[in-house]
Amino acid sequence: MKLDTAANILAKIGNPTRLRIVRLLVRAGDEGLPVGMIQKKLKIPGSTLTHHITHLKSAGVIRQERQQATLICKMEFEVLRNLVDYLTEECCADIDAREDAA
């Protein structure tokens, strides 16, 4: 993952409501949740939810699928895993350098 991609994803989920949506969808697993259920659980107006979902979709964090008349939001787990991997890939890389300087 590139720095700009990671920064964009973090900027998009760096909002309390969007983070709540992401956490709900993570808990829902691969099946996702209908938009109406997300709205009910978060107790926010539909227009507000649409606004936040649009941001999450534009970052590639979630996707939507239509099942008859129901719109289902699903987490893009691979994107989330790639983000976490990017953030942690150099974990502890400078420990030796710090010890050598001491």
Residue 93: the pLDDT is: 84
Q: 3-101: which CATH topology? A: Arc Repressor Mutant, subunit A (1.10.10)
Domain ranges of the chain: 3-101
Long-range interactions of 81-87: CB distance < 8 A, separation 24+? 82/1, 83/1, 83/6, 83/9, 83/10, 85/1, 86/1, 86/6, 87/6
Gap between the Cα atoms of 26 and 41, Å rounded:
14
pTM of the model: 0.88
pLDDT digits (tens, 9 = 90+) for 39-97: 999 999 999 999 999 999 999 999 999 999 999 999 999 999 999 999 999 988 887 76
Gap between the Cα atoms of 10 and 34, Å rounded:
24
Gap between the Cα atoms of 47 and 83, Å rounded:
28
